[in-house]
Amino acid sequence: MISLLHLDSGAEHADGSVSRRLTAMFAEEWRRLHGPAAEYRYRDLAADPVPPLGAPYIDLGRRVEKRGLVPPDQVAALAADDAERRDWALTLPLVEEVRAAGTILIGAPMYNFSVPAALKAWIDRITFPGAYIDPETGASVLRDTTVVVVTARGGAYGPQTPRHGCDFQEPYLRAYFREHLGVPEDNLRFVHAEMTMAEHLPQLAHLRDFAARSLADARAAVAELASGDGRPVGAPHR
């Protein structure tokens, strides 16, 4: 079944958050095009945060890793105590959502050159040993998954800008999904709305036209990706 996993991670309310408005636009168009039969799952990682990792998660993960490739539905049997069982009960639904998604849509404002802590906590929680490897083939079960990351940045961090080297957001997320989860490079999409603080700060007033163009470009890119132009977005797994 075609499915969309929609995650927001910004601390702002929807009416003040550029990333939330853009991901909502994507989700609305995607759901309109795919109809009620398509599965849609939403998580607000800021309002309902994923618990940070603790010793039970680490201990269980190391025990599982020593066994080789253990399918997620068999991990619970390896839990040593109630604390590990509780931790895995928190983790498994998140892992299953990622494995089932045809498209993962992430709203990620830039905080201090990187991603929000709420998003990092989700990433840490879902990154369980062997959770995305097919034990029969050794291939990633996410090889057909598309990841769309929509960012909002108070400044400008694109190529040829003075702060391009300070972007630890896209490189980190690109490397994580590609190298750690096995999402192919061609299936990773990034949309950036930049200079979003220009409308709020008088000293950035001269950059408001730049900000408006960046937001317009981001909206156009989101609409195109949601509609599936080019490579199909949200294609079911083979």
The sign of the torsion formed by the CA atoms of 72, 142, 184, 151 equals negative
Tokens 């075609």 — which residue?
Answer: 2
* Residue 111 marked as a ligand binder: yes
- pLDDT band for position 13 (50/70/90)? confident
- pLDDT band for position 117 (50/70/90)? very high
- pLDDT band for position 14 (50/70/90)? confident
- pLDDT for 8 equals 97
Biggest CA–CA distance in the chain, Å, is 60
Over residues 169-176, the mean pLDDT reads 97
Over residues 206-231, the mean pLDDT reads 84
- pLDDT for 24 equals 96
How many secondary structure helices (H) and strands (E) does the chain include? 6, 5
- Given a contact cutoff of 8 angstroms between Cβ atoms, the answer to whether 100 and 3 are in contact is yes
* Residue 17 marked as a ligand binder: yes
Percent of all residues in the chain with a pLDDT value above 70, rounded to a whole number:
95
For residues 228 and 145, which has the higher predicted lDDT (pLDDT)? Answer: 145
* Residue 110 marked as a ligand binder: yes
CB atoms near residue 212 (< 10 Å):
13
- pLDDT for 234 equals 44
* Residue 113 marked as a ligand binder: yes
CA 203 to the chain's CA centroid: 32
> Nearest-CA neighbor of 60 among 143, 116, 125?
125
d(CA 70, CA 129): 8
Judge whether residue 232 has pLDDT over 80.
Answer: no
Tokens 């929509």 — which residue?
Answer: 150
Judge whether residue 201 has pLDDT over 90.
Answer: no
Judge whether residue 1 has pLDDT over 60.
Answer: no
Percent of all residues in the chain with a pLDDT value above 90, rounded to a whole number:
73
Q: What share of the chain is helix, strand, coil (3-state, %, to 5)?
A: 50, 15, 35
For residues 163 and 125, which has the higher predicted lDDT (pLDDT)? Answer: 125
- pLDDT band for position 233 (50/70/90)? very low
Which domains occur in the chain, in start order? 3-227 (3.40.50.360)
Q: Is 109 exposed, middle or buried (0-12, 13-18, 19+ CB in 10 A)?
A: buried
Residue 5: phi and psi, rounded to 5, are: -105, 115
pTM of the model: 0.91
The mean of the pLDDT values for the chain is 91
Over residues 147-151, the mean pLDDT reads 97
Judge whether residue 231 has pLDDT over 90.
Answer: no
Over residues 167-194, the mean pLDDT reads 95
- pLDDT band for position 216 (50/70/90)? very high
